[in-house]
Copies of this chain bind each other. A is one copy, B any other.
Amino acid sequence: MLDVPVVLDRAAARPLADQLADALREAAAAGRLRVGERLPATRALAATLAVSRTVTAAAYDQLHAEGWIAGRQGAGTFVVAVPPARPVENPMPAPVSLASAPVLADLRPGSPWTAGLRTDVWRRAWRAAADSRPEQRPLRAGRPEFRRAVAEHIVRHRGLVVDPAAVLATAGTTAAVTELALAVLRRGDTVAVEEPGYPRAVGALRAAGLQVQPAPVDDDGLVVAALPTEARAVYCTPAHQFPLGGRLPAARRVELVTWARERSAWVIEDDYDGELRYDVAPLPLLAAVGPDVVIHLGTASKILTPTLGVGWLAGPTGVVDSVLDYRNAAGAGPGEAGQRVFTALVDSGDLSRHLRRVRKELAARRELLVSALATAGLAARGDQAGAHVVIPLANSETERRVVAAAQGAGLLLDGLGRCYAGPADRAGVTLGYAAPATRADLAAALPALVRLLIGAAPAAMSQPSASR
């Protein structure tokens, strides 16, 4: 006889056979049935439990199919493996906290003005995106209509004529940097990065096994003459150096392309917020100056939202082919859902209209922020572009103190220190002005911000560069 308590609930939705299989599985897991033990015949068990033999036979079939029992008929049925105990407690980790502290204003750089994206525009784009049916196989290069839309966006807003065939969809800039590291560069290669620079690009390069070598930056961006000779590639932000805010002058652009050509090195041009310029027209892209050596990366993160996971890469044939080869081999490639939404926004003209609003709003916010700082004798550093400025501070200790004090006051700031791949030789804070929902929200945070910074910022470093 089966020395196992089996309680079947005839009123339950779960079939009796499944209930019996559960009970036997649990008995084995609890140690009440052991490997080698013989189970009663299906007929005898059916009689004991007052169920039809169909029920016991189905339960045994299930356990047999699962591999816990074997044999059956003739020689009898035996337990051949013991299932794991069903965990009473959840074996998975404790919840990761998704909440954050109450915040007066998020002034970290990198966030777009998502509140400025009109709800009707957003909805219209998603509705249009639903019009095309799902694909059966991933399009590793991206959806053809997305690549065409990106080419249109680039020529309209960045002045570069590019064939849609030379455009690849990416999951965003850092995802593209990772792909380039794995597909185009070799493990152990040295990549020059701006110092200070964009920490996530450095993180992506290092995580992919590349050596990162810092190269100095001045008010105009990357100092090309100081690039390390052994670099196989350089990652840079020529339109709006992150974080210092300079724009690479034309002569240095030519110099950088020449540098790359002489070494057969690659230039990765991260044009993260190149659409956002409030004074003069932008310079020609590096990709226009050196289409044979420049890999251009763009993103929807700063002009729309990072959560679409939409970016693009435009580059020479060899690079495009290598990235596609990598994607095919590794089964990788950007998701297409965000591409659909972005395409709809370009095709309707809504993206261009939204961009005009964003430029107008962010230029006004920059003016508001810079003026508030100036009245307190604080000079903001960085071009009239993008969505952040830098306030120089005396040293790293002051920087840490200001960031901590700001957090205490409900203001999220980033220190310059986190933008260094090596030891920091400057100190300061980066102030992003796009995240607050309205200009009034930003204005409301300014008094507290100015109080914090006064005294912390050395007058000596308050250069008259506010209006660069």
Q: Give chain A's interface residues, CB within 8 Å of chain B.
A: 18, 61-62, 65-68, 80-84, 86-87, 90-96, 98, 106, 110-112, 114, 117, 119, 122-123, 125-127, 129-130, 133-139, 141, 144, 161-166, 171-175, 178, 182-183, 187, 200-201, 203-204, 206-209, 249-254, 257, 279-281, 283-284, 288-292, 304-310, 314, 316-317, 320-321, 324, 326, 328-338, 340-341, 435
Contacts and interface: CB of A to CB of B under 8 A. Distances in A.
A65 B284 CA distance: 12
A379 B61 CA distance: 24
B334 A251 contact: no
Given A95-B163, A96-B165, A114-B134, A284 B84 contact: yes
A173 B166 CA distance: 27
Given A98-B144, A329-B200, A337 B320 contact: no
A166 B207 contact: no
Contacts of A336: 307-309, 338
Contacts of A317: 92-94
B332 A335 contact: no
A179 to B, nearest CB: 10
A341 B332 contact: no
Contacts of A208: 182, 208, 330
B329 A283 contact: no
B114 A136 contact: yes
Given A133-B119, A330-B207, A251 B81 contact: yes
15 contacts: A67-B249, A84-B284, A84-B290, A87-B161, A94-B163, A96-B141, A134-B308, A172-B335, A175-B331, A200-B331, A201-B331, A203-B330, A307-B335, A337-B337, A337-B340
Contacts of A87: 161, 288, 291
Contacts of A65: 279-281
A200 B330 contact: yes
A83 B250 CA distance: 7
A182 B206 CA distance: 10
Nearest to A81: B251
Residue of A134, A206, A316 with most chain B CB atoms under a 10 A cut-off? A134
B135 A62 contact: no
Given A111-B136, A114-B136, A204 B332 contact: yes
Nearest to A174: B331
Contacts of A330: 174, 178, 200, 203-204, 207-208
A284 B86 CA distance: 10
Given A279-B65, A309-B337, A329 B163 contact: no
5 closest Cβ pairs, A-B complex: A309-B335, A200-B331, A93-B317, A67-B249, A174-B331
Nearest to A434: B136
A164 B251 CA distance: 53
Contact of A251 (B80, B114, B309): B80
Contacts of A127: 126-127, 130
B307 A162 contact: no
Given A66-B250, A87-B291, A111-B136, A175 B332 contact: yes
Nearest to A143: B307
A224 to B, nearest CB: 12
Nearest to A314: B92
A207 B333 CA distance: 14
B135 A307 contact: yes
Contacts of A289: 83-84
B331 A334 contact: no
B335 A280 contact: no
Contacts of A204: 329-332
A234 to B, nearest CB: 18
A306 B138 CA distance: 6
Contacts of A93: 163, 165-166, 316-317, 320-321
